[in-house]
Amino acid sequence: MHFCDSGKQKAITFSYDDGVTQDIRLVELLNKYGLKGTFNLNSQLLSKRGILVRKDGRRICHYKLHPEDVAYVYEGHEIAAHTLTHPNLTQCDDGEVIRQVEEDRLRLSELAGYEVVGMAYPCGGVNNDDRVAELIKTHTGIQYSRTITENARFDPQENLFRFQPTVHSSHFDQMMELAREFLEMKTETPKIFYVWGHSYEMDFAVDWTRLEEFFKLISQREDVFYGTNREILLGSHGDRK
């Protein structure tokens, strides 16, 4: 783990999907507390507008950022791929998997002004498998990809192309419990606390005040490295496969 070069054995990172306008508020909060995140975008869906209707009838804004705003909004954080149009890659043929990932990566690299090398799998349920992971590893410029399978653990993982996060940010009570465990932990080996989610969920599942409570708890710890997914998993420049 490259963050050990900092002399610290513990690291905290965030990963948020879809590139919605709520990310603006989220980035402001991350910056306020000196935290770092990775934002996974569908380049072909940028500027799209939508409304998500919850089971209880509540409507949630799901507006995507404009392409020209991407670099500015995510300055100081990491931009990563999420496929062009958000399909379930396990249901795509080999060529379409490669196209969805690599074209998204290249478009986002142009918007970001640096080479994008990270990714998060789109869709819920079973959204990744060994076939898809191997295609991405061998036929695209992606160097790591996050799944949606939460493991409630902090151990480093060998398979960066099916990387499991620790916890979802809408599971607030569990997230706080894990945070306290992580912060109290004494370790001589690398540990990663990896939180993932969608910023629009803060509008209904975990309100912004509670999220800021979590950020306050985990921030400004002398024994913790705060970095993007790329910085923690690959080093600041990324390692070739």
Q: pLDDT tier at 117 (50, 70, 90 boundaries)?
A: very high
Q: 45 or 2: which carries more pLDDT confidence?
A: 45
Average pLDDT on 13-35 reads 98
Burial of 130 (0-12, 13-18, 19+ CB in 10 A): exposed
Q: 235 or 120: which carries more pLDDT confidence?
A: 120
Q: pLDDT tier at 241 (50, 70, 90 boundaries)?
A: very low
**Integer Cα distance of 192 and 10 in angstroms:** 6
- For residue 139, how many other CB atoms are within 10 A of its CB? 15
pLDDT at 190 (0 to 100): 96
Calculate the CA 158 to chain-centre distance: 18
- For residue 161, how many other CB atoms are within 10 A of its CB? 22
Q: pLDDT tier at 58 (50, 70, 90 boundaries)?
A: confident
Q: What angle do CA 21, 84, 124 make, to 5 degrees?
A: 75
Q: What is the mean pLDDT of the chain?
A: 95
Query: What is the percent of the chain with per-residue pLDDT over 90, rounded to a whole number?
Result: 90
**Integer Cα distance of 27 and 105 in angstroms:** 21
Burial of 125 (0-12, 13-18, 19+ CB in 10 A): exposed
pLDDT at 2 (0 to 100): 63
pLDDT in tens, 214-227: 999 999 999 999 99
pLDDT at 57 (0 to 100): 85
Which CATH architecture does the domain made up of 2-233 adopt?
Answer: Alpha-Beta Barrel (3.20)
**Ranges of each domain in the chain:** 2-233
**Integer Cα distance of 11 and 14 in angstroms:** 10
Q: pLDDT tier at 238 (50, 70, 90 boundaries)?
A: low
pLDDT in tens, 188-205: 999 999 999 999 999 987
By C-alpha distance, which of 101, 112, 18 is closest to 69? 112
Average pLDDT on 78-91 reads 98
**Which amino acid, 126?**
V
Average pLDDT on 145-149 reads 98
